[in-house]
Amino acid sequence: MSYEIIYDKQFIKVSEDKFVPMILTGSNNCYDHNNRRVRSWWAYNINGSIVLTLNEMLDYAKSLRQGIIDRNESRERDEWYEEYDDKSFGYWSSIAINGSTRNTTYGQFEGIFKTGCSKSLTIEQLIDENVSVVVKNTFYTSNKYDIKPFSRVVTSGQELIDAVNECNELFKDTPIGVTVDFGYMSDDKPKLLRKKYFPKPKKQKERIEVDKYYTILVNQKYLSKHTRNGYTYSFYVPQLKFATKCDADSRVKRFESKYPNRDYKVEEVNEKITLMV
């Protein structure tokens, strides 16, 4: 069955509360000459509009979800009926985000819009990164309408709104609509832009003095670190040091989920030391 894959997003901030939701997407069954799935940038059109507020996007997501639920409940008497689950939203909507449709949740779908708006960039910022923004008409194969194609590079949010309105007016009596495209936006560029404009805050560590600390043993040896082929350890000297037992227990739970066949244990060490936390 055909479904759409959403690879990434880079929303355009038109004003303080309006955005163009640009997504990198493509069909699962379309490939190029290098046998790579075809993908392209596309302005998410919601109810005929591509300039939207976050609330309008979230209302759309809720409406889409409710429509799926309603249609599914109408088939409840069918032999193959399966109850809708938010955890498999992608299966019901034919959308895959970073994986299969079955593993695409409704939360991930809403997250496209929430994160997209919070990490949007203005047209001026995109231009600074050598990315152009183009307002143009949607593709139409018929020669029925004697209208020249519309395409305009914009340099500000107001220019984008003006161009969208002009394009809509030009094609108002036709099935042709308006969309937005990027110029010189590679598939991996949004990741680089997020690192530059929205860096993850570095946790500030501080020194504390403790009268005792906690360490972790694995198979009765002091664990130092895990490696690709096993782990390193010491027979006599504690390696990992935690200020609280809760911190050590939390780390052990993480290790146990990844390496279930190893015997982990938290040990209290009565020694006064200085730790960075």
* Tokens matching residue 256: 């146990």
Cα–Cα distances in Å, from 188 out to 88, 156, 184?
27, 24, 11
- Spell out the alpha helix ranges (H) of the chain: 54-73, 89-93, 106-118, 123-128, 157-170, 189-197, 245-258
| pLDDT tens over the chain, length 277 residues | 689 999 999 999 999 999 999 999 999 999 999 999 999 999 999 999 999 999 999 999 999 999 999 988 887 777 677 889 999 999 999 999 977 899 999 999 999 999 999 999 999 999 999 999 999 999 876 677 788 899 999 999 999 999 999 999 999 989 999 999 999 999 999 999 999 999 988 888 899 999 999 999 999 999 999 998 899 999 999 999 999 999 999 999 999 999 999 999 999 999 999 999 8
User: Per this entry, what is the length of the chain?
Assistant: 277
- The predicted model scores a pTM of 0.75
* Tokens matching residue 201: 């805050």
